[in-house]
Amino acid sequence: MQEQNRTRFDPGAECVTQMHLAREGVLSPEMKRVAERERLDPELVCSEVARGRMIIPANVHHEALDPMAIGLKARVKINSNIGNSPTSSSLEEEVQKLTVSEGWGADTVMDLSTGKRIDETREAIIAAASVPIGTVPIYQALECVKQIEELTPEGLVENIAHQARQGVDYMTIHAGVRLEHLPLCQHRVTGIVSRGGGILARWMVHHMRENPLYERFDEILEICRRHDVSISLGDGLRPGSIADASDAAQFAELQTLGELTERAWARDVQVMIEGPGHIPLDQLEMNVRRQQETCHEAPFYTLGPLVTDIAPGYDHITSAIGAAIVGWHGTSMLCYVTPKEHLGLPNAQDVKEGLIAYRIAAHAADLARGSARAAQWDRELSKARFSFDWRRQFELALDPETARAMHDETLADDYFKSAEFCSMCGPKYCPMHNFKDLDWDALREAVTARKAPGVARSSLARDELAEVAS
Ligand code: SF4
């Protein structure tokens, strides 16, 4: 295997993607960094990227990037969405949301700006971001025209090229929404809920034409090849309610996404597949399996999914439940949902709450997938807890500040940082304290000699008791 110190941009090269290098057997600096971060063999990273089961979103123009990977063999990742809207937020606030997102562990950040100063906001975000930045280029294309019907295929492709030059690492391209799929949505409870899907549906029906992103997909691939933009194939027809989950429209689009994946791979372009949305618990595993089969194991990137519709204000929780389960079954990246979902544009506090919920979901999924690294973290925290090492427990907590503040709310004095109880059960009832206080030597002796009445009546054989006692 060759090693290469790839220059970040080669204007003469037709294809500079990580997938292209991996298929040529070249170990790039980005692959080596991913191997180091994931504690994987660099050759395994290279072979996973080559077969499309792992992606490294790394636009050649994104100088501040610390490369990371999304895929089955990697840790489950989380994405945070930021970006202004026509009615709220500023450039400074969006950069602050990026900082909050990185600080709370977002592995990638999507800039979904649809308001003013889109270019300046994106440039400031990319310049400051060490994580990959994703966008949905159709949003900016729409800002260049008065209404959806005025969008042109050329304008859409030019916008993708423009953002590729700016350094966007991955782009949501809703190329899987076909004209023939739209009648399948007509009787849904919540119709089309993806912004990109809704824009395209309106354009297609007005012009009675096929989706321009589908028709121009080869041109889009050429752009992605030259700048190493990973494509996140958008799920424009994802279900927006439990009632619409796993319906014909959703799976018709998924079928097209499988075809597009093969077309992208034929051009060495990295791909991941976006997924639902709103799915009840009993359909989660089936949805992951179906995506993996239909899209040839390209990484799955799901929004939640929310497992019920009834809790506006708490959708970071309804969706983190679904996220943990799909992560366990093979989803590679979880797009976070904040408490403001369905209600308004999240502020920095909402971003934090959404990220914490999703880090819990991703970690729970890593544990269920057998990650020794994840299990070690749990073990260390449990040990600190059992030894009443409160300071260590706070240090190891996902959110140390909140853990410390909650403990100190009732027992703030330093003395209580080694106390063998907290205010939950108190000293007399604390079961961990009572357990530690047991006279183990006396118990072992009683068990072995069958001295205690309870032990004497035990049906366990002497040898078994001795083994238990030791
Ligand atoms: S008092 Fe209860 S909650 Fe607190 S440390 Fe002991 S067992 Fe845990």
Could you give the residue ranges of the DSSP H alpha helices within 228-337? 248-266, 284-294, 315-329
Ligand 1 atom 7: residue of nearest CA: 430
List the one residue out of 19, 14, 24 whose CA is nearest residue 3: 24
Is the preceding omega at residue 305 within 30 degrees of 0, hence cis?
yes
Which residues lie closer than 8 Å to 342 by C-beta, 6 or more apart?
A: 312, 315
Ligand 1 center to residue 433 CA distance, Å? 8
User: Alpha-carbon Rg of the chain, whole angstroms?
Assistant: 26
Nearest-atom index, ligand 1, CA of 431: 7
Sign of CA dihedral 12, 17, 23, 27: positive
Neighbours of 277 (CB within 10 A): 27
Q: Which two tokens stand for residue 438?
A: 């047991």
| Probe target for ligand 1 pocket from 422, 429, 435, with the most ligand atoms within 8 Å of CB | 422
User: Alpha-carbon distance 149 to 189, whole Å?
Assistant: 25
User: Alpha-carbon distance 373 to 260, whole Å?
Assistant: 35
β-bridge mates for residue 266, sequence order: none
Classify each residue of 406-429 as buried b or exposed e, where b means 16 or more C-beta atoms within 10 Å of its C-beta.
Answer: ebeeeeeeeebbeeebbeeeeeee
Nearest-atom index, ligand 1, CA of 427: 1
Give the C-alpha distances (Å, rounded to integers) separating 394 from 375, 378, 383, 399, 400.
Answer: 18, 13, 12, 8, 5
Which residue's entry shows tokens 């290279």? 46
Ligand 1 center to residue 437 CA distance, Å? 14
* pTM of this prediction exceeds 0.85: yes
384 pocket-lining for ligand 1 (C-beta < 6 Å): no
> Over its length of 470 residues, how does the chain's per-residue pLDDT go in tens digits?
676 655 556 777 888 999 999 999 999 999 999 999 999 999 999 999 999 999 999 999 999 999 999 999 999 999 999 887 777 667 888 888 899 999 999 999 999 988 778 899 999 999 999 999 999 999 999 989 999 999 999 999 999 999 999 999 999 999 999 999 999 999 999 999 999 999 999 999 999 999 999 999 999 999 999 999 999 999 999 999 999 999 999 999 999 999 999 999 999 999 999 999 999 999 999 999 999 999 999 999 999 999 999 999 999 999 999 999 999 999 999 999 999 999 998 888 898 999 999 999 999 999 999 999 999 999 999 999 999 999 999 999 999 999 999 999 999 999 999 999 999 999 999 999 999 999 999 988 888 887 777 776 666 656 666 666 55
